[in-house]
Amino acid sequence: MKIIPFLQVPFAVRSVGHSPNPNWSGIGFNGILISTTSLDSLTVSSDNSIASIEPGLGWGAVIPQVGVGGLILGGGLSHFSAQYGLAADNVKTFEFVLASGEIVNTNAETNSDPFWALKGGGPNFATAYSLTVLPSVLAAFTEWQKNGAQTDPKTSVLNNILSTGCSLGLVYSEPATYPDAFAPLAAIPNGIIRIPATNATVTLLSTILGGAFSTASARHVYRSAASLIDETLYNETSSYYFDTINSHQAKGVKVNMTFTLQTIPPSLVAASESRGGNPMGFPSLAHQWWTTITDWASEKDDETVLSAVKSIGDQFETLGAARNSYLPYLYMNDCYADQNPLTQYPPANIKTMKYIAAKYDPSRVFQLLQKDGCLLSKA
């Protein structure tokens, strides 16, 4: 890091490179790429209570396509967030490198201001740390969101809507077969292919999730939005989504798109706050984070696909606003390059983050030379 501000060279930092946004974790030939690929050690404390993980690891090593570093700087949503908060809320200590090249440790007791800011504050302070659809389906999913998700934080359901159908991933964080909280989902009528419940470990879950991602080369993008729990909004947006994706596929555009609903119960907010909180400021009421994950084959289709992705996101916001269920919140790890989640963070938190950034990076290296990303200079 010392040479970058000395020479005033643009740079980017990459954990694993999961973000598809240009210049967020890559820079081409126009600057320096700091890759943490070789920082890949993992050690566990003697009492098995704390894992020390370097940022070059993926979560499937954990889930190989998602990097430890980037996930945590953006917050980090998981199947266990309703119980334990975001991944960032469970970090015990960060070890990071300042723009000056100084290596600093931060935790809740020592250098506590960057400890708070790093938990979802994006790439604004330092780098290289280690760290401790069908209508019946949507109806059942919404009922679980309103009831089971609110009363039993051990439950997690990931709802993926594809152009070919819908998949539900049900996770319960202790041994069980079909907990009462999942009753609406168990009652979905015929037409569903059920995979038998499995009592297993997080390692197996990570292997299954990692295997769900294609390793084929493709162009890739996603987009973020948020809303209150609203079955009608889900149905109306999914109809627009199906019409859009089917229209492009009929014209020969080789594109695959997944429309995903991620439930955020109040227990997640409480779990985050009990662990010291974070700067993200997401709503404390029951809601969900929407994202669309899109892959396509050819560069010639970039404009067409990106326009389609944006139109679906805009439609979600428009329909939600008309129903008073749209929420002006963006989850950093799901944002596209033209979205700025920091504009949705509480102003007081942005002010504190800028104070911390000025304290630890007085020359503003991470604001002026870092090529792109969710930078405080944009907030």
pLDDT digits (tens, 9 = 90+) for 77-130: 776 677 777 877 878 788 777 888 777 778 877 778 887 887 777 666 555 444
Number of domains in the chain: 2
Same domain for 197 and 113:
no
Decide if pLDDT at 296 tops 80. Answer: yes
pLDDT digits (tens, 9 = 90+) for 66-80: 566 667 777 777 766
Q: For residue 201, count other CB atoms closer than 10 A to its CB.
A: 8
pLDDT digits (tens, 9 = 90+) for 4-38: 877 788 877 776 666 667 666 677 777 887 777 77
Handedness of CA 181, 212, 17, 217 (dihedral sign): negative
Average pLDDT, stretch 199-218? 65
Same domain for 192 and 290:
yes
* CATH number of the domain within which 298 lies: 3.40.462.20
* C-alpha closest to that of 241 among 129, 348, 188, 163: 163
Same domain for 97 and 182:
no
| Domain enclosing residue 76, as ranges | 3-129+339-360
Looking from the CA of 37 toward its CB, the CA atoms found within 13 Å total 8
* C-alpha closest to that of 93 among 36, 45, 35, 33: 45
Instruction: Please give the pLDDT value at position 62.
Output: 44
Does 70 map to a domain? yes
Does 329 map to a domain? no
- Do 115 and 302 meet the contact criterion of CB atoms below 8 Å apart? no
Same domain for 216 and 72:
no
Mark 96-120 as b/e (b = at least 16 C-beta within 10 Å).
bbbbbeeebebbeeebeebbbbbbb
More confident residue, 134 or 232: 232
Does 99 map to a domain? yes
Which residues are CB-contacts of 27 (< 8 A; sequence separation ≥ 6)? 10, 11, 12, 33, 371
Task: Please state which of the ranges 14-23, 59-68, 177-186, 233-242 shows the lowest mean pLDDT.
Answer: 59-68
Q: Which residues pair with 95 in a beta bridge?
A: 105, 130
The mean of the pLDDT values for the chain is 81
Decide if pLDDT at 51 tops 80. Answer: no
Beta strands in the chain (DSSP E): 11-14, 32-35, 42-44, 51-53, 93-97, 103-107, 127-131, 155-162, 165-172, 219-228, 255-264, 287-296, 326-327
pLDDT digits (tens, 9 = 90+) for 307-331: 999 999 999 999 999 999 999 999 9
CA distance 352 to 162: 40
pLDDT digits (tens, 9 = 90+) for 147-157: 999 999 999 88
Same domain for 197 and 124:
no
Instruction: Please give the pLDDT value at position 233.
Output: 94
* C-alpha closest to that of 334 among 76, 155, 145: 76
pTM of the model: 0.68
Same domain for 282 and 206:
yes
